[in-house]
């Protein structure tokens, strides 16, 4: 080449640049050790679903899934701020978790047999019981989902949504024509531009999208039918039972805290004064349940103080006072007729 | 003898060759087809252009006022969306308060590229400048260099986006692909069958598949190919994919240049006793590369445009950043077209400048080679 | 002359090739072992057997009948047909458009030259993905709502659902061709032929983009024919049309065909961007399959193999065409 120094300089600069970018994280199969060594947890979240995982323009993340991540990080590392959020689209989420890029996937992901058995992943605990629904413009005059004969429906690619839509269409002989987009934003944009007659995703997602993206939320109606069961919750990799247990039991801990009336506000008071044996066990005063998980005794205290109990997380992100205005419904405590039932923490 | 002087009648003055009437006749109304074409195009232009002007400039709204924009919707363009959202569009998800850093880094990189194009600066100092600017770029963007913090808050690579990302991906991948491309082009012309087959397979394989599948492969499969426990940075994966892709195309261009060197050069080099590598380095490659500079510039323009595809693997370059800015904001979402036009303008400005430069280089080469 | 092993050129050649093959082999083996280890550790299954499993998803538009109970390989086949549909129509449109503009750029009409120049510079300097997105936004925004479509005589409809028009089909009961007319019912159109906004966006976007490059190729081809040829043709009294057809075109074609092949290949490969605007082409369907089965490696390898075959096929076809058009020189 004309200028060997040129070649050498460019090559040198490139090598330096590459080494800056290349980040090696030792993942020796023990996720907990890696996280402690890194002093940071990496959490896979949604790219932008209000109420579940969304960042504002300054880059601050909020949402139900985000709060669950913070609770786990607080239990393991001591602070809910030691989390790095990686926004993932639906096609990328499983490979990111499989490859070790993230430690836990908290991205309103439905539990199914395929995902549990064949992707090398494990489903932890359900944080949100949901179902798939439809959103239609009010002026289309559609009152229930069976009226969608031959309709075009906007849907995001690679989700259980697509398959459920097909099953529903087949079962009711509707001949629905799906328009499939790679990105959620593209699907939303197409629906709101009028390309499709209906839009389908989880009912909570519909509420979130309608509140945040419709010009006038009153112009869109969410149909009453739920055409599938969608239990949503975080996933972790297979092969690391310790980490699996930690994530699962933090979630159960948050649910149990609500059942026993422990909130972020009264936790310090309860820790000092309470004599209820269950409460004392949860707060680490009588038994050290944390040691069995590989953590210290205050693991659940920190988790609850960071995000609040399950009920507080729900109300703050998707509850009746938020633009999503979702009722507890199946997400209420079992004692109140819902499905949130935490096994005993002992 | 008497010669009769018959005055010849004065001739009419010659037809002027520079009047505008003549130019019109020759260029617009030369024959029937030409006249018809001219009239059709004029009618089309007179119908479209005033409407375009009225929409884009006359009735347009430049202030970031969503209500004013709504009121002129359909009549005038809402450039307010640009004045409102330009920071997210140009810098992506980079933390708001620190956006002076990518601005500075971009400025440095662009000035380096411009300076490298000017012949007056082609000396050794330029190489050191390249090294320094790349170090400064990564240092400013990331906040750390080789793990050593520079006193700036660290920003992980998945938050880099917008224009700095595009510039970085295209220039770095071209710079890295170039040595590889030269080796592959030489390998393809070699007469060692193993080397030739490998190079041919690589080039034909990469040129036959779309860039998007290479990007999918890089982003999904690259982590699987690395030893268990390493997580290659997301930007690194995309960079490797684009570099391998552009190396194949550049190799073909360099091969075209190599084919244009006459055999006599090789024979003269041999007669001087130069070995294979010395011949290539001193005699062949300088001539070949000088020939293909326009082709390589065109390749650079193509790669610059192709970096827009990284949107599909969720890196937020310009179009991805626009989606980010507008999709979650119902106030401004109806004005997506104005946002797209803004990005079109940015890309057009860069690519047009590069293509003019490439034409200029071509002209200079032709001049220098004319005897 | 007993030169040592190192000094014998033949020996050195073998040595270099062996060294390269060994190095490459080691690299590939290392990558493969990493992949297998990773897949085993994460419990990811592999193999192409998923192709015979039930697809479980519907495809919005397809040229052959497709149902969610059909296997995955049939879904891929539908995707391939959709890609070919876009490629063939795109190639036809861009050739016509590109030739017109290319000819305009060398014509003697200054307005045509100027507009041709503006057109090529505009469409060549903007990324194709951006152009596709803009086309899609324009089509979806400005087409009439599906509840109140623009229609002509009840057999031509234009709305956000696309352009629909009738098509003659063979009806066995009345042995003969019968018009299959689109029927509009409550915002949806059945029967007839419908071109969805996704198909229109990608075909028009790709055609206009590629036509700018085709225009350049055509222009270069026309300019490459020496002026002397045209002057000679004029001097023996050939008309403009005869000159073009019998003198200019055959010589220009030699220069045009190889780069034109390249542009056709580029159009076919660029059709893979349909995944961004919701057109169910091969890459989009492969994406869905990838997500539902988790077989990332197999799906991506399949797309790459298919595109490779398409590229090689198109190249072979154009090379054959090139051979036929080649002028036998003296």
Flag whether pLDDT at B158 surpasses 80: no
Between C151 and A266, the more confident residue is A266
Flag whether pLDDT at B107 surpasses 80: yes
Lowest mean pLDDT among A225-234, B342-351, C152-161: C152-161
**Best residue in A176, A179, A199 to probe C by mutation, most C CBs within 10 Å?**
A179
Chains that contact B by 3+ CB pairs under 8 Å? A, C
What ranges do the domains of chain C cover? 72-153+197-325
| A141 Cβ under 8 Å from any chain C Cβ | no
Bridge partners of A221, per DSSP, are A136
| A323 Cβ under 8 Å from any chain B Cβ | no
Count how many pairs of residues, chain B against chain C, have C-beta atoms within 8 Å. Answer: 145
Does the beta-carbon distance from C57 to A181 stay under 8 Å? Answer: no
Flag whether pLDDT at B75 surpasses 60: yes
Q: What value does the CA radius of gyration of chain B take, rounded to a whole number of Å? A: 28
Residues A278-314 have pLDDT tens digits of 888 888 888 888 888 888 888 889 999 998 999 999 9
Between C92 and B286, the more confident residue is C92
Note whether A182 and C76 are within 8 A (CB). no
Flag whether pLDDT at C232 surpasses 50: yes
| A177 Cβ under 8 Å from any chain C Cβ | yes
Give the angle B18-B23-B28 at the CA atoms, nearest 5°. Answer: 175
Instruction: For residue C42, name the pLDDT band (cuts at 50, 70, 90).
Output: low
Flag whether pLDDT at A12 surpasses 70: no
Residues of C in contact with A199 (CB under 8 A): none
| C39 Cβ under 8 Å from any chain B Cβ | yes
Say how far residue A340 (Cα) sits from the centre of its chain.
Answer: 16
Say how far residue A197 (Cα) sits from the centre of its chain.
Answer: 28
Flag whether pLDDT at B225 surpasses 90: no
190-219 in B: which are within 8 Å (CB) of C? 192-195, 198, 205, 207-213, 216-217
CATH superfamily of C72-153+197-325: MetI-like (1.10.3720.10)
Residues of C in contact with B311 (CB under 8 A): 129, 276
Residue C121: what pLDDT?
93
**Fold for domain B80-95+155-370?**
MetI-like fold (1.10.3720)
Does the beta-carbon distance from A157 to C160 stay under 8 Å? Answer: no
Residues of B in contact with C312 (CB under 8 A): 208
Q: Which of C106, C130, C108, C92 is nearest to C211 (CA)?
A: C92
What ranges do the domains of chain B cover? 80-95+155-370
Q: Which residues contact A67 (CB under 8 A, 6 or more apart)?
A: A307, A308, A313, A316, A317
Note whether A223 and A135 are within 8 A (CB). yes
Shortest distance between the Cα of A168 and any Cα of chain B, in A, equals 29
Does the beta-carbon distance from B312 to A182 stay under 8 Å? Answer: yes
Flag whether pLDDT at A335 surpasses 80: yes
Residues C45-97 have pLDDT tens digits of 778 888 888 887 888 888 888 888 889 999 999 999 999 999 999 999 999 99
Residues C285-308 have pLDDT tens digits of 888 888 778 777 888 889 999 999
Q: What percent of chain A has pLDDT above 70? A: 90
The overall average pLDDT reported for chain A is 83
Residues of A in contact with B324 (CB under 8 A): 48
Flag whether pLDDT at A20 surpasses 50: no
Residue B244: what pLDDT?
93
Residues of B in contact with C259 (CB under 8 A): none
317-356 in B: which are within 8 Å (CB) of A? 323-324, 327-328, 330, 333-334, 336
Residue C329: what pLDDT?
57
Residues C233-289 have pLDDT tens digits of 989 999 888 888 888 888 888 888 888 888 998 999 999 998 888 899 998 888 888
Flag whether pLDDT at A23 surpasses 60: no
CA–CA gap between residue C260 and residue C268 (Å, rounded): 13
Candidates B124, B229, B330; nearest CB to A26: B229
Q: Which two tokens stand for residue C88?
A: 């063939």
Beta A229-237 vs A104-110: how paired, if at all? antiparallel
CA–CA gap between residue B36 and residue C144 (Å, rounded): 34
Residue A17: what pLDDT?
44
Does the beta-carbon distance from A13 to B178 stay under 8 Å? Answer: no
Instruction: For residue B295, name the pLDDT band (cuts at 50, 70, 90).
Output: confident
Instruction: For residue A14, name the pLDDT band (cuts at 50, 70, 90).
Output: very low
CA–CA gap between residue C99 and residue B351 (Å, rounded): 24
Flag whether pLDDT at B235 surpasses 50: yes
Does the beta-carbon distance from C42 to A180 stay under 8 Å? Answer: no
Shortest distance between the Cα of A286 and any Cα of chain B, in A, equals 39
- What are the φ/ψ torsions at residue A235 (nearest 5 degrees)? -120, 150
Q: Which of C159, C258, C167, C271 is nearest to C214 (CA)?
A: C258
Q: Between the CA of residue A176 and those of A284, B140, B176, B276, what are the distances in Å?
A: 54, 51, 49, 66
HSE at residue A87, side-chain half, CA atoms within 13 A, is 26
Shortest distance between the Cα of B201 and any Cα of chain C, in A, equals 12
Residues of C in contact with A238 (CB under 8 A): 42-43
Residue A117: closest C-alpha in chain C = C43
Note whether C101 and C215 are within 8 A (CB). yes
Residue B305: closest C-alpha in chain C = C127
Residue A43: what pLDDT?
93
Which of the given ranges, A107-111, B8-12, C12-16, C56-60, has the highest pLDDT on average?
A107-111
Query: Residues B189-193: what's their mean pLDDT?
Result: 86
Flag whether pLDDT at A4 surpasses 60: no
Note whether A94 and B223 are within 8 A (CB). no
Does the beta-carbon distance from A86 to B158 stay under 8 Å? Answer: yes
* CA distance from start to end of chain C: 49
Does the beta-carbon distance from A1 to B145 stay under 8 Å? Answer: no
Candidates C38, C137, C278; nearest CB to A180: C278
Residue C55: closest C-alpha in chain A = A163
HSE at residue C58, side-chain half, CA atoms within 13 A, is 24
Q: Give, to the nearest 10 degrees, the angle between helix B162-189 and helix B100-117.
A: 40
Chains that contact A by 3+ CB pairs under 8 Å? B, C
Query: Residues C166-195: what's their mean pLDDT?
Result: 77
The overall average pLDDT reported for chain C is 85
Shortest distance between the Cα of B359 and any Cα of chain A, in A, equals 22
> DSSP assignment, residue C278?
T
Shortest distance between the Cα of B137 and any Cα of chain C, in A, equals 25
Between C35 and B346, the more confident residue is B346
Residue C201: what pLDDT?
93
Residues of A in contact with B312 (CB under 8 A): 182
Between C122 and A26, the more confident residue is C122
Q: Which two tokens stand for residue B189?
A: 């012309």
Residues of C in contact with A166 (CB under 8 A): 56-58, 68
Asked if the interface predicted TM-score (ipTM) of this complex is over 0.85, the answer is no
Shortest distance between the Cα of A170 and any Cα of chain B, in A, equals 31
The overall average pLDDT reported for chain B is 84
Residues A102-145 have pLDDT tens digits of 899 999 898 888 788 877 788 999 999 998 999 999 988 888 88
CA–CA gap between residue A243 and residue A237 (Å, rounded): 9
| B124 Cβ under 8 Å from any chain A Cβ | yes
Residues of C in contact with B216 (CB under 8 A): 300
Does the beta-carbon distance from A21 to B159 stay under 8 Å? Answer: no
């Amino acid at each position: 080449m004309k200028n060997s120094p040129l070649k050498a300089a460019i090559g040198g600069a490139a090598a330096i640049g590459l080494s800056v970018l290349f980040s090696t994280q030792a993942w020796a199969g023990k996720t907990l050790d890696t996280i402690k060594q890194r002093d940071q947890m990496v959490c896979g979240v949604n790219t932008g679903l209000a109420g579940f995982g969304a960042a504002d323009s300054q880059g601050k993340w909020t949402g139900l899934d985000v709060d669950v991540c913070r609770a786990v990080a607080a239990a393991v590392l001591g602070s809910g701020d030691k989390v790095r959020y990686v926004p993932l689209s639906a096609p990328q989420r499983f490979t990111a978790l499989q490859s070790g890029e993230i430690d836990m996937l908290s991205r309103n992901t439905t539990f199914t047999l395929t995902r549990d058995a064949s992707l090398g992943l494990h489903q932890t605990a359900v944080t949100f019981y949901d179902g798939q629904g439809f959103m239609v413009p009010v002026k289309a005059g559609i009152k229930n989902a069976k009226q969608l004969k031959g309709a075009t429906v906007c849907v995001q690619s690679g989700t259980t949504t697509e398959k459920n839509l097909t099953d529903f269409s087949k079962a009711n002989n509707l001949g629905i024509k799906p328009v499939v987009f790679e990105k959620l934003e593209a699907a939303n944009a197409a629906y709101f531009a009028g390309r499709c007659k209906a839009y389908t995703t989880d009912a909570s997602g519909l509420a979130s999208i309608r509140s945040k993206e419709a010009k006038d939320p009153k112009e869109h109606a969410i149909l009453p039918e739920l055409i599938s069961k969608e239990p949503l919750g975080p996933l972790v990799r297979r092969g690391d039972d310790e980490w699996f247990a930690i994530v699962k039991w933090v979630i159960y801990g948050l649910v149990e805290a609500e059942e026993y009336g422990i909130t972020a506000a009264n936790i310090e008071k309860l820790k000092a004064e309470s004599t209820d044996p269950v409460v004392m066990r949860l707060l680490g005063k009588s038994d050290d349940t944390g040691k069995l998980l590989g953590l210290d005794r205050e693991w659940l205290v920190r988790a609850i103080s960071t995000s609040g109990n399950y009920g507080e997380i729900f109300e703050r992100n998707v509850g009746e006072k938020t633009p999503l205005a979702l009722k507890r419904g199946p997400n209420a405590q079992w004692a109140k007729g819902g499905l949130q039932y935490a096994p005993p923490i002992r | 003898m008497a010669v009769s002087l018959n005055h010849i009648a004065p001739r009419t003055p010659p037809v002027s060759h520079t009047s505008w009437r003549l130019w019109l006749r020759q260029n617009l109304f030369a024959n029937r087809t030409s006249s018809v074409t001219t009239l059709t195009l004029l009618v089309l232009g007179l119908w479209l252009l005033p409407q375009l002007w009225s929409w884009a400039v006359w009735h347009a709204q430049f202030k970031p006022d969503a209500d004013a924009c709504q009121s002129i919707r359909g009549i005038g363009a809402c450039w307010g969306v640009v004045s409102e959202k330009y920071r997210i569009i140009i810098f992506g998800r980079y933390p708001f308060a620190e956006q002076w850093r990518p601005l500075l880094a971009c400025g440095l990189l662009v000035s380096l590229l411009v300076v490298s194009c000017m012949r007056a600066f082609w000396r050794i100092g330029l190489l050191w400048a390249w090294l320094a600017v790349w170090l400064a770029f990564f240092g400013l963007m990331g906040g750390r260099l080789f793990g050593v913090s520079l006193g700036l808050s660290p920003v992980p690579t998945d938050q880099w986006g917008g224009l700095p990302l595009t510039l970085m991906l295209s220039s770095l991948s071209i710079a890295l692909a170039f040595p590889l491309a030269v080796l592959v082009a030489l390998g393809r012309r070699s007469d060692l069958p193993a080397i030739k087959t490998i190079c041919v397979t690589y080039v034909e394989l990469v040129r036959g598949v779309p860039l998007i599948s290479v990007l999918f492969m890089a982003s999904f499969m690259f982590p699987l190919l690395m030893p268990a426990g390493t997580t290659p940075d997301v930007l690194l994966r995309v960079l490797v994919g684009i570099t391998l892709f552009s190396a194949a195309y550049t190799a073909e261009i360099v091969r075209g240049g190599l084919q244009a060197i006459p055999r006599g050069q090789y024979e003269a080099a041999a007669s001087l006793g130069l070995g294979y590598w010395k011949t290539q380095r001193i005699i062949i490659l300088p001539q070949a590369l000088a020939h293909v500079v326009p082709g390589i510039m065109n390749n650079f323009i193509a790669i610059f445009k192709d970096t827009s595809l990284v949107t599909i693997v969720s890196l937020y370059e310009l179009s991805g950043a626009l989606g980010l800015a507008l999709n979650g904001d119902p106030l401004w979402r109806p004005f997506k077209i104005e946002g797209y036009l803004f990005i079109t303008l940015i890309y057009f400005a860069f690519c047009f400048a590069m293509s003019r430069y490439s034409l200029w280089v071509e002209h200079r080469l032709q001049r220098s080679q004319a005897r | 002359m007993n030169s040592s092993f190192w000094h014998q050129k033949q020996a050195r050649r073998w040595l270099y090739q062996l060294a390269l093959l060994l190095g490459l082999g080691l690299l590939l083996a290392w990558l493969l072992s990493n992949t297998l280890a990773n897949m085993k550790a994460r419990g990811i299954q592999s193999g192409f057997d998923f192709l015979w499993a039930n697809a479980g998803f519907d495809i919005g538009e397809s040229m052959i009948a497709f149902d969610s109970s059909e296997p995955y390989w049939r879904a891929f086949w539908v995707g391939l047909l959709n890609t070919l549909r876009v490629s063939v129509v795109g190639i036809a449109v861009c050739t016509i458009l590109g030739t017109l503009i290319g000819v305009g750029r060398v014509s003697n009409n200054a307005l045509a030259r100027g507009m041709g120049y503006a057109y090529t510079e505009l469409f060549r300097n903007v990324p194709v993905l951006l152009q596709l997105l803009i086309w899609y936004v324009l089509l979806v925004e400005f087409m009439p709502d599906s509840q109140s479509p623009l229609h002509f005589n009840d057999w031509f409809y234009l709305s956000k659902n696309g352009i629909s028009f009738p098509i003659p089909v063979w009806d066995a009961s009345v042995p003969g061709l019968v018009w299959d007319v689109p029927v509009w019912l409550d915002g949806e159109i059945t029967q007839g032929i419908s071109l969805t906004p996704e198909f229109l966006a990608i075909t028009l976007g790709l055609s206009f983009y590629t036509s700018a490059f085709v225009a350049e190729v055509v222009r270069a081809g026309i300019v490459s024919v020496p002026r002397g040829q045209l002057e000679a043709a004029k001097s023996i009294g050939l008309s403009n049309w005869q000159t073009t057809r019998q003198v200019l075109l055959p010589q220009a074609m030699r220069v045009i065909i190889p780069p034109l092949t390249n542009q056709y290949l580029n159009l076919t490969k660029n059709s893979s961007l349909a995944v961004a605007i919701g057109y169910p082409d091969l890459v989009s369907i492969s994406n869905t399959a990838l997500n539902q089965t988790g077989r990332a490696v197999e799906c991506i390898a399949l797309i790459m193999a298919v595109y490779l075959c398409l590229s090689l096929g198109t190249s072979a076809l154009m090379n054959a065409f090139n051979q036929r058009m080649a002028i036998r020189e003296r």
